[in-house]
Amino acid sequence: MAVLPHFTTLGSGPTVLMLHDADGGHLTFAPQVETLASAGYRAVAWDMPGYGHSAPIEPYNFKGLAESCLALVDALQAERVTLVGHGMGAMVALEAAVRRPAVVQRLVLCAGGPALDAQAQGDWATPRLDALQALQDAGGSMEQLAQTLVPRYIGTGALPEGVRLAVHALSQVYGGSYRRALQALSTFDRGAAELVRLHVPVLLVSGEGDRCTPPDALQALAQVLPDARHVSLPHVGHWPQLEDPEGFDGALLDFLASQRVLH
pLDDT band of residue 259 (cuts 50, 70, 90) is low
Query: Which long-range contacts link 101-105 to residues 24+ away (Cβ below 8 Å)?
Result: 101/198, 101/199, 101/200, 103/70, 103/73, 103/78, 103/79, 104/80, 104/200, 105/14, 105/80, 105/81, 105/200, 105/261, 105/262
Cα–Cα distance, 52 to 54 (Å, whole number): 6
| Residue 263 forms part of a structural domain | no
CATH of the domain at 183: 3.40.50.1820
pLDDT band of residue 122 (cuts 50, 70, 90) is confident
Checking if the pLDDT of 11 tops 50, the result is yes
| Residue 2 forms part of a structural domain | no
Checking if the pLDDT of 117 tops 90, the result is no
20 three-state secondary structure: coil
Checking if the pLDDT of 260 tops 80, the result is no
Per residue in 151-191, pLDDT tens?
A: 999 999 999 999 999 999 999 999 999 999 999 998 998 88
pLDDT for position 2? 57
Q: Hey, CA dihedral for 188, 86, 201, 235, is it positive or negative?
A: negative
Question: Mean pLDDT of all residues in the chain?
Answer: 93
Checking if the pLDDT of 1 tops 80, the result is no
pLDDT for position 261? 42
Query: Residues 207-232: what's their mean pLDDT?
Result: 94
Query: Residues 140-144: what's their mean pLDDT?
Result: 95
pLDDT for position 57? 95
| Residue 55 forms part of a structural domain | yes
Q: Among the listed ranges 123-137, 148-162, 203-217, which one has the minimum average pLDDT value? A: 123-137
Query: Residues 110-115: what's their mean pLDDT?
Result: 86
Per residue in 29-71, pLDDT tens?
A: 999 999 999 999 999 999 999 999 999 999 999 999 999 999 9
Cα–Cα distance, 122 to 203 (Å, whole number): 26
The total number of structural domains in the chain stands at 1
Quote the domain boundaries for residue 13: 7-257
| Residue 21 forms part of a structural domain | yes
- Residue 44 phi/psi, 5° resolution? -125, 130
| Residue 189 forms part of a structural domain | yes
- Amino acid at site 31: P
Cα–Cα distance, 32 to 27 (Å, whole number): 10
Per residue in 72-96, pLDDT tens?
A: 999 999 989 999 999 999 999 999 9
| Residue 1 forms part of a structural domain | no
| Residue 262 forms part of a structural domain | no
Checking if the pLDDT of 262 tops 70, the result is no
| Residue 30 forms part of a structural domain | yes
